[in-house]
């Protein structure tokens, strides 16, 4: 418990300090025509989240508790965060970012599985992790959104791990929840601090690893893990597919994610993010219930959620058509 409390405290204090930082330490997100915010806002919150994570895991290790901070994990997160911080300040190209992300994923998969898993399965897992890194970055475009997904998603997995008797995974999830909750104190609408790529890419990697490791540890099947994070996965994946079909450059910033379109429809940041929180919580609760069912019951729940997502996307499209007709 002390590791979780410390993760929250360190993250919250650093976030408050970063909102007041000046000079070289400050990296501002300057609004443009694709932004949902209107004022220059610091984007260094990822540093505070990482500090909270490091503190929590260190205390778990020092107190003899269960922890997930193996050297491959530490090295991978540090490398990914460092490159993301450089990108936040100097804007790296898409190719070098993707190359480094792929290298991090290969390192993790090799050190965690070696040659034990089939090559095809490793390729699928690698592509999934790279996609999770990037989709989390894509979805970090609204106040309180990415932080809220982390808190609700990791809390769901933490509860599932606790119910399954996996204390190590439960504590690891608790540390992530606490560190991100500390950041949310200054990121909930109206945000005074953004997490930046250093926060979003690391949380995306951790979410992907969590989905895979929870499956291998018998905590939650991978399809239910995907359901927990489906508010991000579905929005980002469908939006990417639509942009690819239109021949757009998918690596460039845009405002066509469904959550962005809700804001543009007049919902505003607070109403949209609260609606997304409710969606995230419902997905998490459904996954926990489904975990107790047979594969047939789980299939029914997944199917119901597919219908729900199709309905929600259709209603957004219809609302946009009505707006355009009256404009």
DSSP string, 216-252: HTTSS-HHHHHHHTHHHHHHHHHHHHHHHHTT--TTS
124-to-35, 73, 128, 183, 203 alpha-carbon distances in Å = 33, 20, 6, 32, 20
Q: At 28, is the pLDDT very low, low, confident or very high (cuts 50, 70, 90)?
A: low
pLDDT of 314 reads 97
Q: At 254, is the pLDDT very low, low, confident or very high (cuts 50, 70, 90)?
A: confident
Q: At 251, is the pLDDT very low, low, confident or very high (cuts 50, 70, 90)?
A: confident
pTM reported for the whole predicted model = 0.92
- Percent of the chain's residues with pLDDT above 70: 92
pLDDT, tens digit (0-9, with 9 covering 90-100), for 42-65: 888 999 999 999 999 888 888 766
Write the CB contacts of 259 (distance below 8 Å, at least 6 apart in sequence): 139, 141, 142, 145, 235, 272, 276
Host H or E run for residue 101: helix 94-113
| Res. 85: pLDDT tops 70 | yes
**Domain containing 124: what range?**
2-326
Domain count, the chain: 1
Question: Of 216, 217, 210, 213, nearest to 284 (Cα)?
Answer: 210
Question: Of 15, 10, 14, 5, nearest to 187 (Cα)?
Answer: 15
What is the token pair recorded at 119?
């090559």
pLDDT, tens digit (0-9, with 9 covering 90-100), for 180-195: 999 999 999 988 999 9
**Rounded to the nearest 10 degrees, what angle do helices 268-290 and 230-245 cross at?**
110
């Amino acid at each position: 418990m002390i590791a979780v409390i410390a993760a929250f405290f360190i993250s919250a204090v650093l976030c408050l300090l970063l909102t007041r930082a000046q000079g070289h330490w400050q990296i501002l997100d300057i609004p443009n025509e694709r932004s949902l915010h209107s004022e220059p806002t610091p984007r260094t919150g990822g540093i505070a989240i990482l500090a909270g994570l490091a503190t929590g895991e260190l205390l778990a290790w020092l107190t003899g508790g269960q922890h997930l901070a193996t050297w491959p994990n530490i090295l991978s997160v540090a490398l990914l965060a460092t490159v993301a911080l450089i990108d936040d300040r100097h804007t790296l190209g898409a190719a070098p970012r993707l190359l480094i992300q792929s290298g991090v994923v290969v390192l993790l998969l090799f050190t965690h599985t070696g040659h034990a898993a089939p090559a095809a399965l490793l390729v699928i897992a690698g592509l999934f992790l790279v996609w999770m890194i990037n989709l989390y970055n894509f979805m970090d475009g609204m106040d309180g959104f990415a932080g809220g997904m982390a808190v609700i998603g990791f809390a769901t997995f933490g509860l599932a791990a606790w119910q399954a008797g996996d204390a190590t995974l439960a504590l690891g999830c608790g540390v992530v929840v606490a560190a991100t909750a500390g950041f949310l104190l200054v990121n909930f609408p109206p945000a005074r601090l953004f997490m930046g790529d250093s926060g979003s890419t690391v949380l995306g990697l951790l979410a992907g690893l969590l989905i895979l490791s929870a499956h291998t540890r018998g905590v939650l099947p991978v399809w239910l893990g995907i359901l927990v994070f489906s508010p991000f996965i579905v929005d980002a994946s469908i939006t990417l597919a639509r942009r690819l079909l239109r021949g757009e450059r998918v690596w460039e910033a845009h405002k066509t994610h469904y959550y962005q379109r809700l804001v543009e429809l007049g919902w505003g940041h607070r109403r949209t993010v609260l609606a997304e929180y409710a969606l995230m919580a419902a997905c998490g609760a459904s996954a926990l219930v489904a975990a107790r069912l047979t594969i047939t019951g789980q299939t029914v729940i997944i199917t119901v959620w597919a219908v729900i997502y199709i309905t929600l996307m259709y209603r957004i499209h219809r609302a946009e058509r009505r707006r355009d007709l009256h404009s």
